[in-house]
Every structure is written in C-alpha cells, then in structure tokens.
C-alpha cells in the first residue's frame, strides 16, 4: 500500500489506541497454563497477536470471538502436540516466548515465520533452553541460529541464566521454561527490560519473585495458573507514541490518548520528550493488567532541544527509537543515541533504516555501530520512502512527512497492520487529510 503525506497544518483530537501488543501476546500465551476461561477485551488487533493466538490454538487452546469483539480463551493447563508447523508470522515475541512454552511442555513442534522472522537471531533462546535440557535446534544462518526451530522434548532442569542483552522476549521465554522445569531457574539482565511477564504471572499465582538485587527467580508451576475471568488490555504506549510524537512536532498540535499503559519500563520515550522540552501531561487512570494507566495529553509547537539517550534508557524506549530519531531532527542541536545495537536485529535494521530515510529527507545524520547522532533542526523535504517491511518505520516516517515540505510517498505502508491496523486512517482524520491512504 502506498500512502502520501503532506505537511499538516494542525493535529488534533482524542485517539483511542489499540490494546498493548506485549500484554496481549502474554495474556494469550499464559492462558494456556491455566484451565479456566478468560475473556480478553481490547486485545491488540494487529497481525502479531493473531499469530500467537493461531499457534496456541494449534497447541490445544480453545478460542471463540464474542459479539463484542472480545476473545474468550480456555486452556487445558497443558499443551497438545500441534498438527503441523506453528506459524509465528512476522512476530519475534511469538517465536521467542512460544519457544519457552513449547520446550517446557516437552511437545514436538516446529516454529516458523515469514522471511523477516527467519532472519532474526534465535540462538539467544535456543542456547539457554538447551542448557536446561531442551532438545531444540534452529537453522544455521550467518553466525546465528534462526527459524525454523525444531523442538523434540527433553525434561527441563532449572539453571542460572545471565543474559547478554536486556530482552523481555528472552527473559519471558526462560520464565515460561522455568515454570515447567525442576528446581530453580534464575535470570539476570544487564538492564531491566519490560516487566509485563513478571507482573502478570505473579498476579496469576505463578511461583516467581524478584530478589532484591533484581534477579528473577522462577520455580515449577505445581497447579494451573489462577486466571482472572476477564482482562481488559490497556492501550499500547508504543502505538500512542506516534500520535504523541506527531502532536509534539506539528505547530498547534493537541492530542489526548486515554487508557494508555504507562508502566515505567515502557515510558522512556515520554521521559526523553519531556527532557527535550515537549509539553506532556499524564492524567492517572485506573490500573489494568497490573500496570498503571493514564490519559496522555500532548501540546505541540514547543521549541525542542537535543538530548543524549544513554544505553541504560534504551530498553524503556526500544520500539520508539525510529520515532525519536524523527523528533530529534526537529530539535535544536545534536541528539545522540548509543547502546542500541539491538535495533539492528528487529523487523528491519532500524538504525540503518532511520538514518537512510532521514537523510533522504534532507537531515544530517551520522549512523554509528550502536546508535546515531541527528543534527537538528532540519528542514525536512518530502521524499520517496519504503517501510522496509517494518511497521514502526512505516509509522515513524508518516509522522516525519507531516512536518516536511512537499509530498512524502511511503511504500509498504500496509506493514503498520502488524501492530496498528487503521493507523493511517486515524492519522489522516487527526491531521485534516494531510495523509492519504
Ligand atoms: C517485546 C520486547 C522487545 C520489543 C518487542 C516486544 C516483548 O523485544 O522490541 O517489540 O513483548 O517482550 P526484545 O525482547 O527483543 O528486546
């Protein structure tokens, strides 16, 4: 799909963003370790969570869609052998979390995905799972192991894991394996990553705790999880970020996003924007899925100043980096990011893609091994861009087009459906038609 974007003369309104993708994946996956029905409301509507639900159904989870669009799932407390390969689509979260669930259950299964997912590194989950006793092999690709992944049983034993990268996907994979392993599984991360797994599983009665030094300790689950009967998924802060970013940049912009998850492990983007001089206000709402929730109020037109984003902050704004680069191009001075090499192994090499796209729009950008330096403020020019098969690149550069001269043509805009179906329709409505899908 090709989208055309012109400079926006305003950006206004209230945007109800879709349910959080990370929480939605987890709710569906974890429900398989329970044996009572769970009604999931406001589940993330994108293709990634559909991939998770499809895989879990093949593993024996029952699911029905209600008239109100909610999803009712019912697990068996155990998994059934799947009839064929499990298709994780484009979703790294599906593949990595499912690896831990499948390895722990000891079922024979193959996990596969699309061309992009087949290029993403999976040794980071296979190596620690094998250390726990899983029979798990991937397919050699470059220096890593990639999908398809083959699991063929093996009784798991708890181990002490020290992760090299702060990754909520790897951590969650090992938690799911640890819940089905003998003994204690411990996990230490270099920096704290998003903690939805810990919060949700703890609330659902799993034997898991965080030691005072931050080590996560997991023991075998001896009875099915105590699922709530209903869960409403809060709004996705990573989806809200595009409207927040757009409202900050467009003069006279004014946007509110109600019901957004503001778990501190997810809101580094908001902290960085505030530091750059953006006008943001959080109006607290009612907690959901164990997380704090707020309405985000944003006003645009402030003079933004550059900032330095340190490695320790990166996990809390990981998925917002492409958008932050766009915002940085409009801030006075040089914004530097480091410690973000992980961005190179996302749905695309996001450091490369954002630097190339910003340069194509006329900004001065230096790409480094693990980050970038963006010189602002740049007078962006409309350009021809391709989303490079990456939903976050597609949405971030639609925002860039709203503050560029002339017209920006964005090919591959349909990739936004991975996390935010309807994004371009919403952005068009808020920007009085500056976006034409
Ligand atoms: C996610 C974790 C992050 C993030 C991804 C979702 C999750 O990935 O980029 O979009 O739900 O656990 P990593 O675990 O690879 O850092």
Determine the atom of ligand 1 nearest the C-alpha atom of 170: 14
Q: Which of 22, 24, 345, 392 to mutate to test the pocket of ligand 1 (most atoms within 8 A of CB)?
A: 22
In the block, which residue shows the tokens 């001075």? 333
**210 and 343 share a domain?**
no
The pLDDT assigned to 69 comes to: 85
**281 and 184 share a domain?**
no
**65 and 7 share a domain?**
no
Task: Kindly give the distance from the C-alpha atom of residue 22 to the centroid of ligand 1, in angstroms, as a whole number.
Answer: 8
Task: Kindly give the distance from the C-alpha atom of residue 298 to the centroid of ligand 1, in angstroms, as a whole number.
Answer: 26
Active site residues: 319
The pLDDT assigned to 437 comes to: 87
Determine the atom of ligand 1 nearest the C-alpha atom of 22: 11
Q: Which of 22, 169, 321 to mutate to test the pocket of ligand 1 (most atoms within 8 A of CB)?
A: 169
Report the CATH number at residue 402.
3.65.10.10
**370 and 380 share a domain?**
yes
Task: Kindly give the distance from the C-alpha atom of residue 93 to the centroid of ligand 1, in angstroms, as a whole number.
Answer: 6
The pLDDT assigned to 120 comes to: 97
The pLDDT assigned to 188 comes to: 98
- Number of domains observed in the structure of the chain: 2
Task: State the Cα–Cα distance between residues 86 and 97, nearest whole angstrom.
Answer: 13
Determine the atom of ligand 1 nearest the C-alpha atom of 25: 11
- Last residue within a domain, chosen from 191, 213, 231: 231
Task: Kindly give the distance from the C-alpha atom of residue 167 to the centroid of ligand 1, in angstroms, as a whole number.
Answer: 6
The token pair that represents 265 in the structure block: 């492990």
- Last residue within a domain, chosen from 208, 231, 254: 231
**139 and 14 share a domain?**
no
The pLDDT assigned to 158 comes to: 98
**173 and 211 share a domain?**
yes
- Last residue within a domain, chosen from 171, 201, 231: 231
**213 and 292 share a domain?**
no
Determine the atom of ligand 1 nearest the C-alpha atom of 319: 9
**192 and 281 share a domain?**
no
**110 and 31 share a domain?**
yes
Task: Kindly give the distance from the C-alpha atom of residue 230 to the centroid of ligand 1, in angstroms, as a whole number.
Answer: 25
Which range of residues forms the domain containing residue 396? 2-19+234-436
Protein residues whose CB sits closer than 6 Å to any atom of ligand 1? 22, 25, 93, 167-169, 172, 193-194, 318-319, 342
Determine the atom of ligand 1 nearest the C-alpha atom of 318: 9
**176 and 273 share a domain?**
no
**201 and 120 share a domain?**
yes
The pLDDT assigned to 68 comes to: 86
**199 and 171 share a domain?**
yes
Task: Kindly give the distance from the C-alpha atom of residue 404 to the centroid of ligand 1, in angstroms, as a whole number.
Answer: 30
Q: Residue of the nearest CA to atom 16 in ligand 1? A: 167
The pLDDT assigned to 42 comes to: 97
Q: Residue of the nearest CA to atom 9 in ligand 1? A: 319
Q: Name the stretches of the chain with pLDDT < 50.
A: none
Looking from the CA of 17 toward its CB, the CA atoms found within 13 Å total 27
């Amino acid at each position: 799909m090709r989208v055309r974007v012109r400079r926006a003369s305003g950006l206004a309104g209230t945007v109800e963003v879709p349910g959080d993708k990370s929480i939605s994946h987890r709710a569906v996956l974890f429900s398989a370790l329970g044996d009572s029905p769970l009604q999931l409301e406001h589940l993330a509507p994108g293709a990634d969570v559909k991939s998770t639900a499809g895989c879990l159904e093949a593993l024996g989870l029952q699911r029905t869609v209600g008239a109100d669009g909610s999803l009712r799932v019912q697990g068996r407390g155990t998994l059934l052998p799947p009839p064929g390969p499990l298709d994780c689509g484009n979703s790294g979260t599906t593949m990595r979390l499912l690896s831990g669930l499948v390895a722990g259950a000891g079922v024979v299964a193959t996990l596969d995905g699309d061309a992009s997912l087949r290029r993403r590194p999976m040794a980071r989950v296979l190596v620690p799972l094998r250390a726990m006793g899983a029979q798990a092999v991937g397919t050699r690709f470059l220096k890593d192991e990639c999908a398809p992944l083959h699991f063929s049983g093996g009784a798991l034993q708890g181990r002490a894991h020290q992760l090299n990268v702060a990754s909520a996907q790897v951590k969650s994979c090992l938690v799911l394996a640890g819940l089905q392993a003998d003994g204690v599984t411990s996990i230490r991360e270099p920096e704290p990553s998003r903690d939805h797994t810990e919060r949700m599983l703890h609330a659902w009665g799993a034997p898991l705790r965080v030691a005072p030094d931050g080590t996560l300790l997991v023991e075998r689950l001896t009875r099915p999880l105590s699922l709530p009967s209903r869960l409403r998924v809060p709004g996705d802060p990573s989806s809200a970020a595009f409207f927040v970013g757009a409202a900050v940049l467009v003069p006279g912009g004014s946007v509110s996003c109600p019901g957004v998850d503001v778990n501190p492990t997810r809101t580094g983007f908001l902290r960085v924007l505030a530091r750059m001089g953006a006008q943001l206000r959080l109006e607290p709402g009612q907690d959901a899925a164990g997380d704090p929730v707020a309405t985000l109020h944003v006003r645009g037109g402030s003079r933004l100043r550059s900032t330095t984003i340190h490695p320790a902050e990166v996990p809390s704004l990981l998925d917002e980096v492409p958008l932050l680069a766009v915002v940085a191009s409009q801030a006075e001075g040089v914004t530097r990011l480091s410690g973000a090499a992980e961005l190179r192994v996302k749905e695309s090499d996001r450091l490369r893609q954002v630097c190339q796209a910003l340069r194509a729009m006329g900004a001065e950008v230096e790409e480094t091994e693990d980050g970038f330096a963006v010189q602002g403020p740049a007078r962006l020019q409309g350009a021809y861009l391709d989303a490079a098969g990456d939903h976050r690149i597609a949405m971030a550069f639609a925002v860039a087009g709203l503050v560029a001269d002339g017209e920006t043509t964005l090919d591959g805009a349909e990739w936004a459906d991975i996390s935010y179906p309807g994004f371009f329709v919403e952005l068009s409505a808020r920007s009085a038609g500056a976006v034409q899908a």
